[in-house]
């Protein structure tokens, strides 16, 4: 007994088929004679469409009316997927996609499927319903298989060369004319030209094709290129990654710095460590190396290489080159490394050792130039040690100039070199040299010493020395370097150097007298000063001394006479009677007698004249001085009185 298949039609009743009730439908007898169906199983691509040709027959003598209905059922769920009329309810899953396209009363049971879905896969059977005839062609099953929608193909497949134009083709899967595909392209590569066309095969299927022309570049390497084929309600695509060969591209970075540094300079502080990274983009892989001049420091193949500069020193101040090459070309980049460091080893022009000495002649000019190794260049300044202020000419040039040198410019100077990384100093002693000047002469005799003040005014012109005594003369000169000082005595236009700054004369004689010249000289110049030495003989000196002594004694005696005279007169005046006093008062001053003072200088050899000395018995070498005073009393001329004589003895010890 057959399975019962309910059919829901628009009339609202269920038609049950009982194989036993239908002629020729017995399970054991096969198809009923006269009922045949011709249709081939088909395979449809998911999303595409397919037309399924189908024809059927009924027994001879049976005629189908124009009102006959053809129905296609899906066996698995007994659902109506397509009908020739609207009298039957079609499944929602197939409505609009399955279409009955055949003419049933003519024996055509063809139908089509559009936008095929995986659920459409299965077996289908056809039946007819007419006014007086109903039949199910269950012995003639139609198999529909749904395959996945294949991707289009892109050709050629392989490596592209940067800069070389090429045509790429996208080919869609063949589809019936009614559902042919539309091709579009997508990707980063620049499409210069596009050409779409179709090709139809013998089965009537249409293949959509699209050609594009592109010129690849390295920036599109490893970028996607997509060909999309869009059908009525479904699409499929093919994406490839462009494999573009190109010569190397380079990027250089330095640790601790932002950005790239190819063909640039970078400053590294002395003692630091820096990494130079050379990154290369190329296809195929490039050979990469770091070098310094002709020396290869590091080499590898790949996408990059790193060069480590450790404990950087001034010796690393060079240009480093990164070289990359492959079959399509080569590229190189450089990094110039500059090492920054604090000033060191400052030097001063004309100085070859630390704490050097520079000489300058007074009155000339002085120029000192200071320089130092440093990076960045140091700011150079001068200062005189012991002073708070720096030289007014302080500048980065490091030059110290004095247009007119004086002794005040002498001393210790320091040059300081400074930059942002540190500082360093160097010193120099400036010595001002000058010719001898301000000669001074100091001397000592047996009686006294004389020290001439340090003055430009000459004080000492001559010096006297007694015959037989000693004389010491010392000549000093202010000079730098110290002068060679000597005494010179001009004699008959010939100078006789005495080879010493000290002149010692012992037991002086007349031959030691004369003009003496002090001569001071050094490598800058010379200076001289003269002094006259007078030698005095002992005889002349004694006479001179005696003359001076006797002159002094004479003056003393003269003063004594005056005093004694005054005293005597006062004494006599007191002893006279009053009447004489009045007489004397009224007398004319012309009545006085003259007063005489005699001074007699005697020696032991001369004969004594006058009164004998009370000291006659003394040594004959002693000299005696005598004073005689004669005083006459006032009296009338008619009665002269006897004169009295007073003697005074003056002794010269």
With beta carbons less than 8 A apart as the criterion, state whether 329 and 162 touch: no
* Residues above pLDDT 70, as percent of the chain: 76
The pLDDT of residue 41 is 93
DSSP string, 375-434: ESPPEEEEEETT-SSBPTT-STT-EEEESS--GGG-EEEEEEEEETTEEEEEEEEEEEEE
Range in 156-170, 475-489, 541-555, 607-621 the model is least confident about = 607-621
Count of C-beta atoms within a 10 Å radius of residue 57: 13
Q: How many residues does the chain have?
A: 653
| Domain covering 349-536, topology | Immunoglobulin-like (2.60.40)
d(CA 301, CA 282): 11
Q: For residues 435-461, give the mean pLDDT.
A: 69
Structure tokens that stand for 244 in this block: 């573009």
More confident of the two residues 461 and 528:
528
d(CA 179, CA 149): 13
d(CA 101, CA 222): 49
User: What is residue 225's three-state secondary structure?
Assistant: strand
d(CA 367, CA 389): 19
Q: What are phi and psi of 491, to 5 degrees?
A: -145, 110
Does 429 score more than 60 pLDDT? yes
d(CA 55, CA 38): 5
Sheet holding 235-241, edge to edge: 182-187, 224-230, 235-241
pLDDT one-digit tens code per residue, 240-267: 999 999 999 899 999 988 888 888 889 9
* Bond before 376 cis per omega within 30 degrees: yes
Residue in the structure block whose two tokens are 């009155």: 363
Q: Which CATH architecture has domain 153-242?
A: Sandwich (2.60)
Task: State the Cα angle at 511 between 507 and 513, rounded to 5°.
Answer: 90
Residue in the structure block whose two tokens are 């392989």: 158
Same fold, 19-147 and 245-340: yes
With beta carbons less than 8 A apart as the criterion, state whether 189 and 225 touch: yes
Q: Which residues contact 480 (CB under 8 A, 6 or more apart)?
A: 431, 432, 433, 434, 522
For the structural domain made of 245-340, what CATH number should be given? 2.60.40.10
Give the confidence band of 628 by pLDDT, cuts at 50, 70, 90: very low
The pLDDT of residue 387 is 66
| Distances, alpha carbon 86 to alpha carbons 11, 71, 142, 191, in Å | 11, 10, 22, 51
Count of C-beta atoms within a 10 Å radius of residue 90: 19
- Beta-bridged to residue 251, according to DSSP, are 279
With beta carbons less than 8 A apart as the criterion, state whether 278 and 261 touch: no
Residue ranges per structural domain of the chain: 19-147, 153-242, 245-340, 349-536, 540-651
pLDDT one-digit tens code per residue, 343-365: 988 888 877 656 688 889 999 99
pLDDT one-digit tens code per residue, 193-237: 999 999 998 888 899 999 999 999 988 988 999 999 998 778 899
With beta carbons less than 8 A apart as the criterion, state whether 447 and 517 touch: no
Residue in the structure block whose two tokens are 């595909």: 181
Q: For residues 566-578, give the mean pLDDT.
A: 76
| Domain covering 19-147, topology | Immunoglobulin-like (2.60.40)
């Amino acid at each position: 007994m057959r399975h019962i298949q309910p059919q829901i039609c628009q009339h609202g009743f269920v038609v049950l088929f009982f194989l036993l009730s239908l002629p020729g439908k017995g399970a054991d007898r096969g198809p009923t004679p006269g009922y045949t169906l011709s249709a081939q199983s088909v395979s449809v691509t998911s999303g595409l469409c397919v037309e399924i040709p189908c024809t059927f027959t009924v027994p001879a003598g049976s005629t189908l009316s124009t009102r006959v209905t053809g129905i296609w059922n899906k066996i698995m769920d007994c659902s109506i997927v397509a009908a020739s009329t609207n009298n039957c309810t079609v499944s929602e899953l197939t409505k609009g996609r399955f279409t009955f396209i055949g003419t049933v009363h003519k024996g055509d049971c063809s139908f089509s499927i559009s936008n095929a879905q995986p659920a459409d896969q299965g077996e289908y059977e056809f039946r007819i319903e007419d006014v007086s005839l109903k039949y199910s062609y269950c012995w003639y099953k139609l198999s529909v298989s749904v395959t996945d929608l294949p991707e289009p193909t892109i050709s050629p497949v392989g490596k592209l060369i940067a800069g070389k134009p090429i045509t790429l083709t996208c080919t869609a899967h063949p589809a019936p004319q009614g559902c042919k595909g539309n091709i579009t392209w997508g990707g980063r590569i620049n499409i210069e030209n596009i050409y779409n066309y179709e090709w139809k095969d013998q089965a009537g299927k249409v293949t959509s094709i699209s050609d594009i022309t592109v010129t690849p570049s390295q920036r599109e390497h490893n970028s996607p290129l997509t060909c999309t084929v869009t059908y009525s309600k479904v699409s499929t695509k093919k994406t490839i990654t462009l494999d573009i060969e190109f010569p190397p591209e380079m990027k250089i970075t330095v640790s601790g710095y932002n950005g790239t540094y190819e063909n640039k300079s970078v400053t590294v502080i002395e003692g630091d460590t820096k990494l130079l990274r050379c990154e290369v983009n190329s296809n195929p892989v490039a050979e990469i190396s770091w070098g310094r001049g002709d020396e290869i420091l590091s080499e590898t193949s790949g996408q990059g290489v790193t060069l480590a500069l450790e404990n950087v020193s001034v010796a690393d101040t060079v240009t480093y080159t990164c070289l990359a090459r492959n079959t399509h070309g080569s590229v190189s980049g450089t990094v110039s490394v500059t090492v920054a460091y604090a000033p060191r080893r400052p030097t001063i022009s004309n100085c070859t050792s630390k704490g050097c000495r520079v000489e300058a002649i007074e009155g000339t000019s002085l120029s000192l130039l200071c320089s130092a190794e440093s990076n960045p260049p140091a700011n150079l300044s001068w200062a005189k040690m012991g002073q708070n202020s720096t030289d007014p000419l302080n500048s980065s040039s490091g030059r110290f100039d004095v247009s007119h040198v004086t002794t005040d410019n002498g001393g210790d100077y320091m040059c300081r070199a400074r930059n942002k990384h540190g500082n360093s100093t160097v010193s120099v002693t400036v010595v001002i040299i000058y010719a001898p000047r301000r000669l001074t002469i100091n001397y000592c005799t047996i009686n006294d010493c004389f020290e001439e003040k340090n003055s430009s005014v000459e004080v000492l012109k001559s010096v006297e020395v007694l015959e037989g005594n000693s004389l010491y003369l010392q000549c000093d000169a202010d000079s730098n370097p110290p002068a060679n000082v000597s005494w010179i005595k001009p004699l008959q236009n010939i100078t006789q150097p005495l080879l010493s700054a000290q002149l010692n004369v012992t037991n002086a004689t007349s031959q030691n007298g004369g003009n003496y010249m002090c001569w001071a000289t050094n490598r800058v110049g010379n200076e001289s000063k003269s002094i006259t030495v007078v030698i005095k003989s002992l005889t002349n000196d004694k006479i001179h001394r005696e003359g001076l002594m006797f002159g002094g004694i004479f003056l003393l005696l003269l003063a004594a006479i005056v005093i004694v005279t005054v005293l005597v007169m006062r004494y006599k005046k007191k002893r006279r009677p009053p009447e004489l006093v009045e007489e004397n008062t009224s007398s004319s001053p012309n009545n006085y007698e003259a007063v005489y003072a005699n001074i007699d200088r005697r020696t032991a050899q001369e004969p004594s004249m006058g009164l004998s000395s009370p000291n006659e018995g003394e040594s004959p070498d002693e000299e005696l001085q005598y004073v005689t005073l004669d005083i006459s009393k006032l009296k009338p001329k008619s009665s002269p009185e006897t004169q009295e004589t007073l003697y005074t003895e003056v002794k010269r010890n």
